[in-house]
Chains A and B, each alone.
With several copies, the nearest count.
Chain A
Amino acid sequence: MSKVTTMKKAIAQHVHSGDFLYIGGYICRPAFSAIHEIVRQGIKDLTITRSNAADDFDLLIGAGCVTRFVSTFLSLGFYGLGRCFRRAIEQGIPHKLELEEYTNLSLPMMLMAGAMGMPFVPVKDLVGSDLLEVKSFLGDQKYKIIDSPFDGRKTVLVPALNPDVGIIHVQQADPEGNAQIWGIGGDCKYGANASKKVIVSCERVVSREVVGKDPSRTIVPSFKVVAVVEEPFGAHPGYVPGFYDVDFGFGFEYQQASQTEEGFQQFLKEWVFDQKDRTSYLQHFIDRFGYRRYAQLMADFDYSYPVSYEY
């Protein structure tokens, strides 16, 4: 049963204001085209999560879609601090943003716990830091400290997370949603599997037979997936291993634009609201910067060695 659809339909049908979303990718495979569509559809009051966030989450926050963020980190990396993120927290622009802050150990573990049906998970970090002192919308449920019933040692437990929707961008998926990746994974496998339903955005839709040639690459099984969207260059300006490189130039454009609220709004108009979908976004990219720059992003190719699963 094919679940292939457009991003517009996938978001309209499965993402609602007030939802709790996991959105995968950090520089590697960010689900940018899904994020643009969420902004375009004016979805509001979202709670979002991922370990390590960058320009994609900064944009979603600046666009006013987010009220709560289960976070560890947000920056534009090489280009410094996330400006929309700062404006939201420092000045409440476009509105207040509530943060529940964890770390790149504890948050991935919470997603893993969510994926595995564990109610909570013990972690060894957080202690002795002020991250234990600040609690936001999770309140007393942010963490618990117990004396381990095994050895009496003080142990921090953090709760499992189960987002309403997980959105990931992957290299390839079959029409039913079996999704495959290779290269840097971040917390994408557990974030998606912790979610009650998954939207898979991919560089290419492949046949079930292609998936079956290398089933160890699959990170999400079809039965969790509600929509499959073929969205080439869907992670731009992030990258996808084997497909295209990071677009540092575009990252700089974003950083410059987002320095001011006006600049950010102009960026949103140009790259999100004035584009009806990913195709027109790419058309506009080529119109604006030239095909040469687009082509230069294309990845080189180097073969991995084939293996066999036969007996």
Chain B
Amino acid sequence: MKVKPRYIKPELMACCGAREIHDHDVVIVGTGFPTMAANIAKHTHAPHCVLMQESGVFDARPRRPALSISDPCLNPGAAMIGGLVDVMGMFLQGGWVDVGFLSGSQVDKFGNINTTAIGDYHRPKSRLPGSGGANPIGSLAKRTLIIALHDTRRLAEKVDFITTPGYISGPGCRETWGLPPDTGPAVIVTNKAVLRFDPQTKEAYLATFHPGHTVEEIVENTPWKLKVADDIHQTVPPTDEELEVLHQVLDPNGLIAVYEKRGYV
């Protein structure tokens, strides 16, 4: 008889994301994970955080999980609906967005993200969707939270194409390019670990490992020489409060399990 686990990996990852959100944060989200993470935060420690979608929606009240940033369920009940120029221009470029969530087919040690092309740009092995809102979110949100699969293909020493700048090629680069001060990637949440960025080197290091994973396994699955935090410890599993919100309020049908099929195990 199979015992139902207390939580699944995507739920742990959503909780990791949630914990990065502070009360009163203005958060720009896509679909899936980010929305789940932001909503966990809203229902626990950050009741005053507010969410927006780049398509033009602020403070939506969806009655079903949104499957895109333009999902029909984002319309009824939202506090404000405009267009891309309102959210990406007036709110994000205007400097009002604290947290942006991003994911990518490739993420490198400086938190640069590739959603454009695998291989050579002009003769891609695989053409990806392109920037969409990723580049401006990664450029202009105060803290970017990155979601990634943890293997040597998805993580990279250097991405094939920088769609969205993290710390580019290291310390001082964002400043040189004129990106706003105090912006940049804060964390990479993977299916094995939480990586943070060294304030000096701007390189991602291992901060916590998820239950069931080891430091050795994680280092092995990271394509750069992964530094390990002095205070390395296990990721705190979802708390009872977090799980209650997840299971009873946000996702009673367990739709988040779809991420398990995408490799988030």
| A153 interface residue (CB < 8 Å to B) | yes
Counting chain A CB atoms within 10 Å of each CB, which of B69, B122, B124, B180 scores highest? B69
With A131-B135, A212-B76, A241-B72: A77-B67 Cβ-Cβ less than 8 Å:
yes
Q: Which residues of A contact B69 (CB under 8 A)?
A: 52
Nearest-Cβ distance from residue A89 to partner chain B, whole angstroms: 4
Q: How far is the CA of A49 from the CA of B57 in the complex (A)?
A: 22
Q: Which residues of A contact B96 (CB under 8 A)?
A: 223-224
Q: How far is the CA of A14 from the CA of B209 in the complex (A)?
A: 46
| B121 interface residue (CB < 8 Å to A) | yes
Query: Across the interface, do A215 and B129 meet the contact criterion of CB distance under 8 Å?
Result: no
What's the interface size class on B, roughly? 35 or more
Query: Across the interface, do A216 and B165 meet the contact criterion of CB distance under 8 Å?
Result: no
Q: How many residues of A contact B (CB 8 A)?
A: 81
| A295 interface residue (CB < 8 Å to B) | no
Q: Which of B58, B68, B124, B132 interacts with A90 by CB under 8 Å?
A: B124
| A254 interface residue (CB < 8 Å to B) | no
Query: Across the interface, do A105 and B136 meet the contact criterion of CB distance under 8 Å?
Result: yes
Q: Which residues of A contact B182 (CB under 8 A)?
A: none
Query: Across the interface, do B72 and A246 meet the contact criterion of CB distance under 8 Å?
Result: yes
Q: Which residues of A contact B263 (CB under 8 A)?
A: none
| B179 interface residue (CB < 8 Å to A) | yes
Q: How far is the CA of A221 from the CA of B162 in the complex (A)?
A: 32
Q: How far is the CA of A223 from the CA of B94 in the complex (A)?
A: 13
Q: Which residues of A contact B85 (CB under 8 A)?
A: 108-109, 112, 116, 187, 190
Nearest-Cβ distance from residue A11 to partner chain B, whole angstroms: 23
| B73 interface residue (CB < 8 Å to A) | yes
Q: How far is the CA of A110 from the CA of B52 in the complex (A)?
A: 22
Chain B residue with Cβ nearest A156: B178
Question: Among A66-74, A226-234, A257-265, A277-285, which stretch is in contact with chain B?
Answer: A66-74
Chain A residue with Cβ nearest B88: A105
Query: Across the interface, do A116 and B89 meet the contact criterion of CB distance under 8 Å?
Result: yes
Q: How far is the CA of A269 from the CA of B79 in the complex (A)?
A: 41
Q: Which of B71, B86, B133, B174 interacts with A27 by CB under 8 Å?
A: B71
Q: How far is the CA of A90 from the CA of B121 in the complex (A)?
A: 10
Query: Across the interface, do B55 and A26 meet the contact criterion of CB distance under 8 Å?
Result: yes
| A86 interface residue (CB < 8 Å to B) | yes
Q: How far is the CA of A188 from the CA of B87 in the complex (A)?
A: 14
Q: How far is the CA of A188 from the CA of B127 in the complex (A)?
A: 26
Q: How far is the CA of A178 from the CA of B125 in the complex (A)?
A: 46
Query: Across the interface, do B56 and A131 meet the contact criterion of CB distance under 8 Å?
Result: no
Which B residues between 115 and 141 are near A, CB-CB below 8 angstroms? 116, 121-122, 124-136, 139-140
Q: How far is the CA of A89 from the CA of B127 in the complex (A)?
A: 7
Q: Which residues of B contact A99 (CB under 8 A)?
A: 130
| B163 interface residue (CB < 8 Å to A) | yes
Query: Across the interface, do B136 and A125 meet the contact criterion of CB distance under 8 Å?
Result: yes
Q: Which residues of A contact B67 (CB under 8 A)?
A: 77-78, 246, 248
Counting chain B CB atoms within 10 Å of each CB, which of A28, A75, A215 scores highest? A215
Chain A residue with Cβ nearest B93: A117
With A90-B124, A187-B84: A130-B72 Cβ-Cβ less than 8 Å:
no
Q: Which residues of B contact A78 (CB under 8 A)?
A: 67-68
| A101 interface residue (CB < 8 Å to B) | yes
Q: How far is the CA of A188 from the CA of B133 in the complex (A)?
A: 16
| B92 interface residue (CB < 8 Å to A) | yes
Q: Which residues of A contact B48 (CB under 8 A)?
A: 1
Q: How far is the CA of A94 from the CA of B50 in the complex (A)?
A: 45
Q: Which of A81, A154, A187, A222 interacts with B177 by CB under 8 Å?
A: A154
Which B residues between 15 and 67 are near A, CB-CB below 8 angstroms? 24, 26, 48, 50, 52, 54-59, 61, 67
Q: Which of A125, A193, A215 interacts with B94 by CB under 8 Å?
A: A193
Instruction: Please encode chain A, from 73 to 97, with 1 for each CB lying within 8 Å of some chain B CB and 0 for all others.
Output: 1110110011001100110000000
Nearest-Cβ distance from residue A100 to partner chain B, whole angstroms: 11
| B90 interface residue (CB < 8 Å to A) | yes
Q: Which of A26, A103, A104, A184 interacts with B75 by CB under 8 Å?
A: A184
Q: How far is the CA of A309 from the CA of B61 in the complex (A)?
A: 12
What are 29 pairs between A and B in contact, CB < 8 Å? A81-B127, A85-B127, A90-B125, A103-B132, A103-B134, A105-B89, A105-B93, A105-B133, A105-B135, A108-B83, A117-B95, A127-B177, A127-B179, A128-B179, A129-B163, A129-B165, A185-B55, A186-B84, A190-B85, A208-B79, A215-B57, A215-B58, A216-B82, A218-B58, A221-B80, A222-B59, A224-B96, A246-B67, A310-B76
The 9 closest A-B pairs by CB, nearest first: A185-B83, A311-B72, A73-B132, A105-B136, A117-B93, A218-B80, A128-B165, A212-B77, A125-B136
Hey, which bits of chain A sit against chain B, CB under 8 A? 1, 26-28, 51-52, 71-75, 77-78, 81-82, 85-86, 89-90, 99, 101-106, 108-109, 112, 115-118, 123-131, 134, 153-155, 174, 178, 182-190, 193, 208-209, 211-213, 215-216, 218-219, 221-224, 239, 241, 245-246, 248, 302, 308-311
Q: Can you add 7 more A-B contacts, CB < 8 Å, to A78-B67, A223-B24?
A: A103-B133, A117-B140, A134-B121, A184-B81, A186-B70, A208-B79, A215-B77
